[in-house]
Chain A
Amino acid sequence: MASKNVSGIARSFIAHLVLIILAFMCLFFFYILIINSTCSHADLQKGFSALPKDYFGKNFNAVANDGTFPMMKGIGNSIIVSSLCAAICTYFSALTAYGLYVYDFKLKKVAFTFIMIILVMPTQVTALGFLRLITNMGLYDTLIPLILPSIASPAVFYFMYSYLQSNLQLSLVEAARIDGCSEMRIFNKIIFPIMKPAVAVQAIFTFVGSWNNYFVPALVLQSKEKATVPILIATLRGADYMNFDMGKVYMMITVAIVPIIIAYLFLSKFIIAGVALGGVKE
């Protein structure tokens, strides 16, 4: 019995140790990033210091007023694209899921099977045609091609559909119909509010996915005015950056990463529950 206890303690110790090491690895790089964003170029040249300096404000101003890398404009563009993506993606995915779940029609099964087959199809394989289509439509170097296609998001649809399957009672729809509610109104006023938890989770994931997206914006955007944050980061990497003020470089990475980290800290419980929900594929 005693030996069992000892081995239990040893196991628990190892488990905690591994967790601490992994947590350290996850946080360490962001720690250096934030420390370095508070340092001046001269401080950074001297080598790494573990404690923050007082250059944060100056670095921030330098980034905010830089014309070569319009970071603030980029953040603005990214917020526009990501918010609109999150809004239309969740609304239309919920609408599609509801349409396929509640109504009976001839092509229902075909439509559902089709969406399930394209569930994990990478967007890159159609990039060539997409680029040409966008150019022919006169949408090259606009934000629209980053937003509109998110109406058709198979994975979000599937999440919504599973949510309806386990949470919607059809009697509710019947009752609303008897009360004379129109079908569109039933969805907008009754079903969509019921789906709020699923919509919120998917809105977060869509927002983050769109915020971080690099491949498509790199393809369709050209002017600095339209650049989203990942494009600016790529430009920074491509520039002759060794001559730059390193404090400013770290600050640019900070403004690209930290807003999401802060939002995550507030929503973490919710997000992790959402990941677990999406993962239950048993």
Chain B
Amino acid sequence: MKKAKSISRAKYGYLFILPFFVTYFIFSLIPLLDTIRYSFYEYYRSGLRIVGPSFVGFDNYINVMGKDFFTYMGNTFILWIIGFVPQIVIALLLASWFVDVRLKIRCEQFFKVVIYLPNLIMASAFAMLFFTLFSTSGPVNNILTGLGLVKGPIDFMGTPVGTRLLIALMNFLMWFGNTTIMLMAAIMGISPDIFEAASIDGCTPRQSFFHITLPLIRPILTYTLITSLIGGLQMFDVPQILTNGQGNPNRTSYTLIMWLNNLLRAPDYGRAGALSVYLFIVSGILCLVVYKMVNGQDNDAKAEKKAAKKRMKAAKGGKN
């Protein structure tokens, strides 16, 4: 009787997870298979003429993996790294300051609210804002010349370095608050006893940061790095809007996803497919790394829970 009932409930499990899997199947898995299929076809528009679809084997893969691919991958990586390095350094610094009781940070909540703010801003509007603010006749140049700091207006978006730095600055502003709060939560998870003991032993704040905080939050630092890398790989909105999809000057801020976007619009489905498959492989590897990390931590939590349950049971048994 009891067994029959538990079997009948299994169907609710399937029923409840069904919408998720049906949706994922339709809107992600079928598109993924279709993407892979098209990567083996020649299928593009040239003028008003549609070429293909005709099967070409691995031609698209070879064609995509040309000089452009490495240039755009390099661009994406540079744009990501010059935003990420200051982001993680500042976030670590701020997180350790916020949790340090001896520093007595005033208006802590205010600072937290302000530094997280840019994360919620529409990236495309933010990029448009930067474009107007940093244009040669824009307010930033006005202020700089007004203060006498520069002689003539600076053409920020006329040089590769200027454009890249602007993109990195936006990415930094949008993400350092988020990372700070996540790292803070991780540091607060460390037992205060450890810091107290170290402080009694004469440990300086610098020492306790490098020898206690850093090693203990390494898992979440790695997690931040990997998720940020995945985010960097998808970089699109900011450079697309700032440079109007051109990646100018001279394609130095043209990212992989901007390329994908242009191939999809051309349309050149064959090459877009091959590029997608490359991106899928890289993201797949990163996904597995994240899975390993999150799952490892989940198993620990489960083991802990089981032990707690056992203890509870033992205690209950003792009472009875």
Contact = CB atoms under 8 A, between A and B. Distances in A.
Contacts, number: 309
A23 to B, nearest CB: 4
Given A12-B103, A281-B223, A214 B116 contact: no
Contact of A117 (B189, B241, B291): B291
Contacts of A29: 129-130, 133
Contact of A92 (B19, B35, B257, B269): B19
B32, B94, B111, B122: most-surrounded residue (chain A CB, <10 A) = B122
B72 to A, nearest CB: 14
Nearest to B114: A23
B113 A268 contact: yes
Interface residues of B, number: 113
B111 A276 contact: no
A95 B19 contact: yes
Contacts of B173: 25-26
A203 to B, nearest CB: 14
A16 B111 CA distance: 10
A183 B9 contact: yes
Interface stretch (B63-71, B75-83, B179-187): B179-187
A280 to B, nearest CB: 5
Contact of B283 (A121, A128, A215, A268): A121
Given A95-B16, A282-B220, A48 B143 contact: yes
Given A29-B130, A104-B10, A120 B290 contact: yes
Nearest to A208: B120
A87 to B, nearest CB: 13
Interface in A132-174: 132-133, 145, 148-149, 151-152, 157-158, 165
Given A19-B94, A233-B124, A261-B117, A272 B34 contact: no
A29 B114 CA distance: 13
B93 A96 contact: no
Given A100-B17, A281-B223, A276 B114 contact: no
B134 to A, nearest CB: 10
29 contacts: A15-B103, A27-B117, A29-B129, A48-B143, A99-B13, A100-B17, A103-B13, A120-B230, A127-B260, A127-B272, A128-B35, A129-B33, A129-B38, A152-B24, A165-B301, A212-B124, A215-B261, A219-B264, A233-B122, A237-B131, A249-B132, A257-B126, A257-B129, A261-B117, A272-B113, A272-B116, A275-B178, A275-B181, A282-B217
Identify the 9 closest CB pairs spanning chains A and B, nearest first: A99-B16, A129-B31, A279-B182, A103-B13, A129-B34, A152-B24, A105-B10, A276-B185, A151-B23
